[in-house]
Amino acid sequence: MYLIKTLVVCSAILLPVIHANAQEKAKPEDTEFWEPVPVVVTPGAGTAAPSDAIVLFDGKNLNNWVSEKGGAATFVIEDGAMTVTPKKGGIKTKESFEDFQLHIEWRSPSVVKGESQGRGNSGIFLQSYYELQVLDNFNNRTYSNGQAGSIYKQALPLVNACKKPGEWQTYDVIWTAPRFNEDGSVKSPARITVLHNNILVQNNTELKGKTEYIGQPKYVKHGAMPLALQDHGDLVSYRNIWIRKL
């Protein structure tokens, strides 16, 4: 017993000494690595897109978009913004995307009409299936998982960061696409982080599946898909849309 106690005491004394000696022999460069070198990206000035972004809409044309019904995109361009043409259908990008960073600005009509879901309603469909809600929720109550900043019918926003009707608002999105196994089962679910007017409203939220108006969300196997903007019958406008593939 005496021998064991002696060994324990000696170990308690020696271990800090050994550790200290090891630290003294270590060098700062032991924990440095120089490869790979991060790619240089030039940030955009003001609201301009960064140098590696794909500009989806710069206020001039709809060359990067088509109608969800086929043919040319139906939104109307005026004063550097594009506005939903009610009952003509939504639009989607010609290009498909998987993981990405998205910047998009939107504006609900300055003339307030309707209430709840009937006021300034549109939506941004990430990979065509997953809706980030666009709605005028300035002094406009609706169900929490259907208001602006929500993942529609799934995840309510952390806060209501809406500006007044007619004012431009921003969404900055980090999207991690779902991955699927060969048999169509989910390997890893989709995740999303959203800043609404520079305020965090979705914090690495895990999605339960594609957006459903009725019933529970569920996944359907897919790969890269277009970004889509919804026609919900209201004169919602969009501008300054860019995306970075991750």
What pLDDT, on a 0 to 100 scale, did the predictor assign at position 13? 55
pTM equals 0.88
Residue 135: what are its φ and ψ, rounded to 5°?
-160, 150
Per-residue pLDDT band for 23 (boundaries 50, 70, 90) equals low
Calculate the average pLDDT of the chain.
Answer: 92
Q: How far apart are CA 189 and CA 194, in angstroms?
A: 17
> pLDDT value at position 7?
47
Cα angle value 44/49/55 (rounded, 5°): 160
Q: Is the pLDDT of residue 60 over 60?
A: yes
- Sequence letter at residue 9: V
Quickly tell me which residue has 């699927």 as its tokens: 180
The DSSP code sequence of 61-105 is --TTEEETTSSB--PEEETTEEE--TTS--EEESS-BSSEEEEEE
Enumerate residues 6+ apart whose C-beta is below 8 A from 211. 125, 129, 130, 131, 151, 152, 153, 154, 217
CA 87 to CA 116: how far, in whole Å? 20
Q: Which of 108, 193, 102, 201 lies closest to 150 in space, CA to CA? A: 201
pLDDT digits (tens, 9 = 90+) for 124-135: 999 999 999 999
Per-residue pLDDT tens over the stretch 42-57: 998 877 899 999 999 9
Q: Mention the CATH class of domain 54-245.
A: mainly beta
pLDDT on residue 208: 98
Q: Would you give the distance in Å from CA 127 to the centre of its chain?
A: 11
Reply yes or no on whether the pLDDT at 137 is more than 90: yes
The model's pLDDT over 193-240, given as tens digits with 9 standing for 90+, comes to: 999 999 999 999 999 999 999 999 999 999 999 999 999 999 999 999
Separation between Cα atoms, residue 111 and residue 36, nearest integer Å: 53
Per-domain residue ranges for the chain? Answer: 2-31, 54-245
Amino acid, single-letter form, for residue 108: S
